[in-house]
Structure formats: C-alpha cells, structure tokens
Amino acid sequence: MFAAQLAAVVAGLPRLLKLAGGGVVAGNCAVGLMGLAVHPPGLVQTPLLIAASLAGGSAGYLRWKAESRPSRLHGSAAFGTQRDARRELSGEGLIIGRAEAGWLMRYAGPAHPLTIAPTRAGKGVGAIIPNLLTVDRAVLCIDPKGENVRAATRRRYGKCTSSTSSR
C-alpha cells in the first residue's frame, strides 16, 4: 500500500511542480522524501538496505581493483599484439610463417623449431623449403621421399647431403 502511494507521489511530481511554479512544492516534496529516507517503513527498508550494501560493496571493490597490481603467482603469459610479433619475430632467423600484414615471421631463438601438421597442410612449401633455400648453415631435414633435397640442391650445392635408403 505504501509503495503504491509513494509511486503516485513520485509520478505526480512533474505536474505539481508545473502548477505551483516549482518552489514551495519542490521544497515540500524534498522534505517528505528525506523523511522517508531517514525513517523508511519496513516495506522500503529492505530494498534500501540491499541497494546501499551493493553500492558500498561496488565502491570498495573498484577502489581495491584500482590500487592492486596484477599477481604474477600463476605466471605472466598473455596474448601478444601485432607490435609484439613484429618486435620478436622480424630480422634474421628461420622462417616460421607470414603475418597478416605480409611480412615474414622469423625465429632466431635458441630452441629448435618443430613443424607438425597433417598431410597436404603446406609444411614443405610454407616452412621447410623456404628455410632450406635461405639459411646459410647446416640443416638436418628428415626427408623420406627426397622432395626437399630436390627442391634445394641447386641453391645449397655443397651444403646439402642426401641419404636415401633403398628399402
């Protein structure tokens, strides 16, 4: 019953303000609403308490989140950006792919690359043969069919040894 009365008062405020010129009625309505906020009836107390708790909890959480630093407890891995990829994968080294922007991604780190993909996925033409043609050092390439040796022999003459089994 009280909620319906309060809703009627709030809904009628703009009309009352227009009729009375705003001053006296607005002051009386503000005093009435302040009285409800200070001494609300039981029906209004619970929602006000819940709203105040949520507002206070949210403000405390936002303050804590703004002041806290990210934890490194579980590592610092994150997805990289295009700028990170350009910085880490450009320059000299083995070709590991082509970026969306068109530049060749190269890896010159201490780890050995391993290319694994299903048949006909482009391992040979995308990674193996370009590296055999451009790298000027010794390479161990397991090539049972001899396709990579045939593709790179002229360019790597003297640096490429073919060993085929006659099974």
Structure confidence by residue, pLDDT tens digits, 89-123: 888 888 888 888 888 889 888 888 888 889 888 88
Residue 9, pLDDT above cutoff 60: no
| CA angle centred on 90, ends 88 and 95, rounded to 5° | 105
Which residues have CB under 8 Å from 117's CB, separation 6+?
Answer: 123
Report which of 114, 122, 111 is spatially closest to residue 88, judged by C-alpha positions: 111
Share of the chain above pLDDT 90, in %: 0
- pLDDT the model gives residue 29: 47
pLDDT-derived band at 14 (thresholds 50, 70, 90) equals low
DSSP state of 70: P
